[in-house]
Protein backbone atom coordinates (compact mmCIF):
# COMPACT_ATOMS: atom_id res chain seq x y z
CA UNK A 1 0.00 0.00 0.00
CA UNK A 2 3.04 2.28 0.01
CA UNK A 3 2.10 3.56 -3.45
CA UNK A 4 -0.77 5.47 -1.82
CA UNK A 5 1.24 6.73 1.15
CA UNK A 6 2.06 10.44 1.27
CA UNK A 7 5.58 10.65 2.62
CA UNK A 8 6.59 13.41 4.98
CA UNK A 9 7.75 16.45 3.01
CA UNK A 10 6.29 15.17 -0.26
CA UNK A 11 4.51 17.75 -2.41
CA UNK A 12 1.26 16.29 -3.67
CA UNK A 13 -0.35 16.86 -7.07
CA UNK A 14 -3.66 15.03 -7.07
CA UNK A 15 -3.61 14.96 -10.87
CA UNK A 16 -0.91 12.32 -10.51
CA UNK A 17 -3.25 10.02 -8.54
CA UNK A 18 -5.77 8.08 -10.62
CA UNK A 19 -9.09 7.71 -8.73
CA UNK A 20 -9.89 4.75 -11.03
CA UNK A 21 -6.71 2.87 -10.08
CA UNK A 22 -7.28 -0.79 -9.11
CA UNK A 23 -3.84 -2.17 -9.93
CA UNK A 24 -3.31 -4.01 -6.62
CA UNK A 25 -6.27 -6.27 -7.34
CA UNK A 26 -5.89 -7.54 -10.92
CA UNK A 27 -8.84 -9.91 -10.44
CA UNK A 28 -11.24 -7.02 -9.99
CA UNK A 29 -14.22 -6.73 -7.68
CA UNK A 30 -14.64 -10.44 -7.02
CA UNK A 31 -11.02 -10.82 -5.92
CA UNK A 32 -11.15 -7.69 -3.75
CA UNK A 33 -14.29 -8.82 -1.95
CA UNK A 34 -12.81 -12.28 -1.44
CA UNK A 35 -9.72 -10.74 0.14
CA UNK A 36 -11.66 -8.20 2.19
CA UNK A 37 -13.74 -10.80 4.03
CA UNK A 38 -10.82 -12.33 5.97
CA UNK A 39 -9.36 -8.84 6.42
CA UNK A 40 -12.55 -7.69 8.15
CA UNK A 41 -12.39 -10.75 10.41
CA UNK A 42 -8.75 -9.97 11.16
CA UNK A 43 -9.64 -6.36 11.95
CA UNK A 44 -12.32 -7.48 14.39
CA UNK A 45 -9.79 -9.62 16.26
CA UNK A 46 -7.15 -6.87 16.26
CA UNK A 47 -9.64 -4.32 17.53
CA UNK A 48 -10.57 -6.73 20.33
CA UNK A 49 -6.89 -7.03 21.25
CA UNK A 50 -6.55 -3.25 21.27
CA UNK A 51 -9.59 -2.89 23.52
CA UNK A 52 -8.54 -5.68 25.89
CA UNK A 53 -5.01 -4.31 26.24
CA UNK A 54 -6.32 -0.90 27.32
CA UNK A 55 -3.04 0.75 26.38
CA UNK A 56 -2.79 1.85 22.75
CA UNK A 57 -5.41 3.90 20.91
CA UNK A 58 -6.45 4.07 17.24
CA UNK A 59 -7.64 7.19 15.40
CA UNK A 60 -8.83 6.80 11.80
CA UNK A 61 -9.49 10.00 9.86
CA UNK A 62 -11.68 9.83 6.74
CA UNK A 63 -11.75 12.86 4.46
CA UNK A 64 -13.04 13.34 0.94
CA UNK A 65 -15.43 15.26 -1.23
CA UNK A 66 -19.18 14.68 -0.93
CA UNK A 67 -20.11 11.13 -2.06
CA UNK A 68 -16.50 9.90 -1.77
CA UNK A 69 -17.66 7.06 0.48
CA UNK A 70 -16.82 7.90 4.07
CA UNK A 71 -19.99 6.28 5.42
CA UNK A 72 -19.60 3.32 3.06
CA UNK A 73 -16.03 2.72 4.18
CA UNK A 74 -17.10 2.60 7.81
CA UNK A 75 -19.99 0.28 6.99
CA UNK A 76 -18.01 -2.22 4.92
CA UNK A 77 -14.58 -2.19 6.57
CA UNK A 78 -15.34 -1.69 10.24
CA UNK A 79 -18.66 -3.46 10.70
CA UNK A 80 -16.96 -6.21 12.70
CA UNK A 81 -15.65 -3.81 15.34
CA UNK A 82 -17.04 -4.20 18.84
CA UNK A 83 -19.22 -1.09 19.47
CA UNK A 84 -18.13 -1.17 23.11
CA UNK A 85 -14.66 -0.02 22.12
CA UNK A 86 -15.49 2.00 19.00
CA UNK A 87 -16.88 5.45 18.28
CA UNK A 88 -17.65 7.29 15.05
CA UNK A 89 -17.44 11.08 15.31
CA UNK A 90 -18.82 13.48 12.71
CA UNK A 91 -17.89 17.13 13.08
CA UNK A 92 -20.67 19.51 12.08
CA UNK A 93 -20.72 23.30 11.98
CA UNK A 94 -19.12 24.55 15.21
CA UNK A 95 -21.42 25.60 18.02
CA UNK A 96 -21.13 28.99 19.74
CA UNK A 97 -19.28 27.36 22.62
CA UNK A 98 -16.82 25.67 20.25
CA UNK A 99 -16.22 28.93 18.40
CA UNK A 100 -15.27 30.54 21.70
CA UNK A 101 -12.28 28.14 21.91
CA UNK A 102 -9.41 27.38 19.56
CA UNK A 103 -10.40 25.26 16.55
CA UNK A 104 -8.82 22.09 17.96
CA UNK A 105 -10.58 22.27 21.33
CA UNK A 106 -13.59 20.24 20.22
CA UNK A 107 -11.37 17.77 18.38
CA UNK A 108 -9.12 16.96 21.33
CA UNK A 109 -12.21 16.13 23.38
CA UNK A 110 -13.22 13.41 20.88
CA UNK A 111 -9.93 11.55 20.39
CA UNK A 112 -9.74 7.90 21.52
CA UNK A 113 -9.16 6.87 25.11
CA UNK A 114 -6.96 3.90 26.05
CA UNK A 115 -8.03 0.79 24.15
CA UNK A 116 -10.51 2.72 22.04
CA UNK A 117 -10.91 3.06 18.28
CA UNK A 118 -12.35 6.34 16.99
CA UNK A 119 -13.24 7.11 13.38
CA UNK A 120 -13.49 10.75 12.36
CA UNK A 121 -16.02 11.10 9.52
CA UNK A 122 -14.69 14.48 8.42
CA UNK A 123 -12.43 16.06 10.97
CA UNK A 124 -10.26 18.96 12.11
CA UNK A 125 -9.05 19.17 8.51
CA UNK A 126 -12.24 21.01 7.57
CA UNK A 127 -10.54 23.97 9.27
CA UNK A 128 -7.97 24.12 6.45
CA UNK A 129 -10.42 23.07 3.72
CA UNK A 130 -13.90 24.58 3.77
CA UNK A 131 -12.78 27.63 5.75
CA UNK A 132 -10.11 28.26 3.12
CA UNK A 133 -12.32 27.67 0.08
CA UNK A 134 -15.11 29.89 1.39
CA UNK A 135 -12.93 32.54 3.07
CA UNK A 136 -14.48 31.88 6.48
CA UNK A 137 -11.30 32.94 8.26
CA UNK A 138 -8.39 35.07 7.05
CA UNK A 139 -5.54 33.40 5.21
CA UNK A 140 -3.16 34.45 7.98
CA UNK A 141 -5.24 32.32 10.35
CA UNK A 142 -5.69 29.08 8.39
CA UNK A 143 -2.07 29.06 7.19
CA UNK A 144 -0.92 28.58 10.80
CA UNK A 145 -3.25 25.67 11.33
CA UNK A 146 -1.14 23.09 9.50
CA UNK A 147 1.58 23.33 12.13
CA UNK A 148 -1.02 23.38 14.91
CA UNK A 149 -2.62 20.20 13.55
CA UNK A 150 0.78 18.53 13.33
CA UNK A 151 1.49 19.51 16.91
CA UNK A 152 -1.78 18.02 18.20
CA UNK A 153 -1.24 14.79 16.27
CA UNK A 154 2.31 14.58 17.59
CA UNK A 155 0.98 14.86 21.15
CA UNK A 156 -1.55 12.10 20.49
CA UNK A 157 1.11 9.88 18.96
CA UNK A 158 3.51 10.36 21.86
CA UNK A 159 0.72 9.34 24.22
CA UNK A 160 0.04 6.04 22.49
CA UNK A 161 -2.38 6.92 19.67
CA UNK A 162 -1.93 5.31 16.27
CA UNK A 163 -3.18 7.75 13.63
CA UNK A 164 -4.16 6.78 10.08
CA UNK A 165 -5.59 9.36 7.68
CA UNK A 166 -7.32 8.53 4.40
CA UNK A 167 -8.24 10.91 1.60
CA UNK A 168 -10.92 9.11 -0.45
CA UNK A 169 -10.09 10.33 -3.94
CA UNK A 170 -12.91 10.41 -6.48
CA UNK A 171 -13.18 12.20 -9.81
CA UNK A 172 -15.54 15.07 -10.44
CA UNK A 173 -17.43 12.97 -12.99
CA UNK A 174 -17.83 10.10 -10.51
CA UNK A 175 -19.24 12.55 -7.99
CA UNK A 176 -21.74 13.73 -10.59
CA UNK A 177 -22.92 10.14 -11.14
CA UNK A 178 -23.27 9.50 -7.41
CA UNK A 179 -25.20 12.71 -6.81
CA UNK A 180 -27.54 11.84 -9.67
CA UNK A 181 -28.01 8.37 -8.21
CA UNK A 182 -29.12 9.98 -4.95
CA UNK A 183 -31.65 12.10 -6.79
CA UNK A 184 -33.03 9.12 -8.72
CA UNK A 185 -33.23 6.61 -5.86
CA UNK A 186 -36.12 7.10 -3.39
CA UNK A 187 -34.06 5.32 -0.74
CA UNK A 188 -31.12 7.69 -1.17
CA UNK A 189 -32.72 11.03 -2.03
CA UNK A 190 -32.74 12.03 1.64
CA UNK A 191 -28.96 12.26 1.40
CA UNK A 192 -29.13 14.87 -1.35
CA UNK A 193 -28.85 18.56 -0.49
CA UNK A 194 -29.09 21.39 -3.03
CA UNK A 195 -25.91 22.80 -1.48
CA UNK A 196 -24.03 19.79 -2.85
CA UNK A 197 -24.43 21.25 -6.35
CA UNK A 198 -23.10 24.61 -5.21
CA UNK A 199 -20.04 22.98 -3.66
CA UNK A 200 -19.23 21.28 -6.99
CA UNK A 201 -18.50 24.71 -8.42
CA UNK A 202 -15.53 24.94 -6.04
CA UNK A 203 -14.00 21.59 -7.06
CA UNK A 204 -10.66 23.02 -8.18
CA UNK A 205 -10.38 25.16 -5.06
CA UNK A 206 -11.00 22.09 -2.89
CA UNK A 207 -8.40 20.08 -4.79
CA UNK A 208 -5.81 22.79 -4.16
CA UNK A 209 -6.77 22.92 -0.50
CA UNK A 210 -6.51 19.14 -0.18
CA UNK A 211 -3.14 19.11 -1.92
CA UNK A 212 -1.74 21.57 0.59
CA UNK A 213 -3.26 19.71 3.54
CA UNK A 214 -1.85 16.37 2.37
CA UNK A 215 1.57 17.86 1.65
CA UNK A 216 1.89 19.80 4.90
CA UNK A 217 0.37 17.35 7.41
CA UNK A 218 1.46 13.87 6.36
CA UNK A 219 4.02 12.88 8.96
CA UNK A 220 5.74 9.76 10.16
CA UNK A 221 3.44 9.69 13.19
CA UNK A 222 0.22 10.58 11.32
CA UNK A 223 0.48 9.59 7.65
CA UNK A 224 -1.99 10.32 4.88
CA UNK A 225 -3.02 7.79 2.25
CA UNK A 226 -4.56 8.90 -1.06
CA UNK A 227 -7.08 6.13 -1.72
CA UNK A 228 -8.47 5.63 -5.24
CA UNK A 229 -12.19 5.66 -4.51
CA UNK A 230 -14.05 5.64 -7.83
CA UNK A 231 -14.45 1.89 -7.33
CA UNK A 232 -16.03 1.38 -3.94
CA UNK A 233 -14.78 -2.20 -3.60
CA UNK A 234 -11.20 -1.10 -4.19
CA UNK A 235 -11.53 1.76 -1.69
CA UNK A 236 -12.68 -0.71 0.96
CA UNK A 237 -9.88 -3.13 0.15
CA UNK A 238 -7.17 -0.47 0.43
CA UNK A 239 -8.43 1.09 3.67
CA UNK A 240 -9.04 -2.28 5.31
CA UNK A 241 -5.60 -3.56 4.35
CA UNK A 242 -3.77 -0.47 5.65
CA UNK A 243 -5.59 -0.53 8.99
CA UNK A 244 -5.09 -4.27 9.49
CA UNK A 245 -1.41 -4.20 8.53
CA UNK A 246 -0.77 -1.23 10.84
CA UNK A 247 -2.45 -2.90 13.83
CA UNK A 248 -0.58 -6.14 13.22
CA UNK A 249 2.72 -4.27 13.39
CA UNK A 250 1.85 -3.30 16.97
CA UNK A 251 2.06 -7.00 17.97
CA UNK A 252 -0.90 -6.61 20.31
CA UNK A 253 -1.48 -9.29 22.94
CA UNK A 254 -4.19 -10.06 25.44
CA UNK A 255 -3.24 -8.97 28.96
CA UNK A 256 -1.90 -11.70 31.22
CA UNK A 257 -4.29 -12.98 33.87
CA UNK A 258 -3.19 -14.55 37.16
CA UNK A 259 -6.24 -16.65 37.93
CA UNK A 260 -4.55 -19.91 38.95
CA UNK A 261 -6.23 -19.93 42.35
CA UNK A 262 -9.68 -18.89 41.17
CA UNK A 263 -12.38 -21.56 41.27
CA UNK A 264 -15.80 -20.88 39.85
CA UNK A 265 -18.47 -22.80 41.72
pLDDT band, very low/low/confident/very high, at 1 (cuts 50, 70, 90)? confident
Residue 150: how many CB atoms within 10 A of its CB?
A: 17
- pLDDT surpassing 90 at residue 262: no
| pLDDT band, residue 209 (cuts 50/70/90) | very high
Domain count for the chain, please give it: 1
Mean pLDDT of the chain: 95
- pTM for this entry: 0.95
Residue 201: give the domain boundaries.
Answer: 2-249
Contact 138, 197 (CB under 8 A): no
User: Is 265 domain-assigned?
Assistant: no
Rounded CA separation 246/220 (Å): 13
Residue 63 domain-assigned? Answer: yes
pLDDT of residue 117: 97
Beta-carbon contacts of residue 217 (< 8 Å; ≥ 6 apart): 125, 146, 149, 150, 153, 165, 224
* pLDDT exceeds 80 at position 260: no
What per-residue confidence (pLDDT) applies to 265? 82
3-state helix, strand, coil split of the chain in percent (to 5) is: 50, 15, 35
Task: Identify the pLDDT of residue 226.
Answer: 98
CATH number for the domain harbouring residue 194: 3.40.50.300
Give backbone dihedrals phi and psi of 165, rounded to 5 degrees, phi first.
Answer: -125, 130
Residue at 55 is within a domain: yes
Residue 185: is its pLDDT beyond 90?
no
Amino acid sequence: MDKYLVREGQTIDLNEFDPDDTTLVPGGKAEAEEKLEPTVDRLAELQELLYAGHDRRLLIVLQGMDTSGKDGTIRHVMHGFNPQGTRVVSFKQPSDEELDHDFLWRVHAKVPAKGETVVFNRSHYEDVLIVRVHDLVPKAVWRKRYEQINALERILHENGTVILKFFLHISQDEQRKRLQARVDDPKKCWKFHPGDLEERKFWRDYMRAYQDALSKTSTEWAPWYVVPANQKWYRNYVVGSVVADTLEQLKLKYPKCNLSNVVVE
